[in-house]
Amino acid sequence: MKHEERTLWQWLDRTMGSNWMANRVENEAGVNIPDVYFVAAPLHGWIELKVIGNWATNDTTPFRVERWTPGQRNWMSNHLLMGGTAWLVVHVKSTDELVVMRDRAALEVVDKWSTIRIRTSQHVFKRRGCGAGKILAALGAEVV
């Protein structure tokens, strides 16, 4: 999965280009810290990158993100409580879609909301043809 997350990072950084300043941290700063720190004024914060194979086969099955550990969730929760901002960005390989969720939403909905509810209420879009503007709009919106 690390290779897939690295590939997602490369795509994201290339797509965002000069629209942001970002650094891939990938645990160099400590365990459970998200993969990327970025600034794209007025936005700034951390992004945890995840890659999953497909959506659940049943639309009523809760949306699960493999390898999003309890430690990563706790870090995100504590960061949010202290006034920080973070996002969970998930690439769904089978459909080549991105799911972009702000910290509060990610902590409240992953493993609880159905796949169909995630698809209709969170920022979900195809990567193909996606530009920096669409990604920045998703990062800038608060959705729950």
Domain range holding 95? Answer: 2-140
How many structural domains comprise the chain? 1
Whole-angstrom CA distances from 12 to 53, 61, 89, 91, 103 are 18, 28, 10, 11, 19
- The CATH number of whichever domain residue 60 belongs to comes to 3.40.1350.10
Q: What is the pLDDT along the chain (144 residues), one digit of tens a residue?
A: 578 999 999 999 999 999 999 999 866 667 899 999 999 999 999 999 999 999 988 989 999 998 999 999 999 999 999 999 999 999 999 999 999 999 999 999 999 999 899 988 889 999 998 999 999 999 998 654
Residue of 10, 84, 15, 103 whose CA lies nearest to 45: 84
The model scores a pTM over 0.85:
yes
Angle between helices 132-140 and 2-16 (to 10 degrees): 110
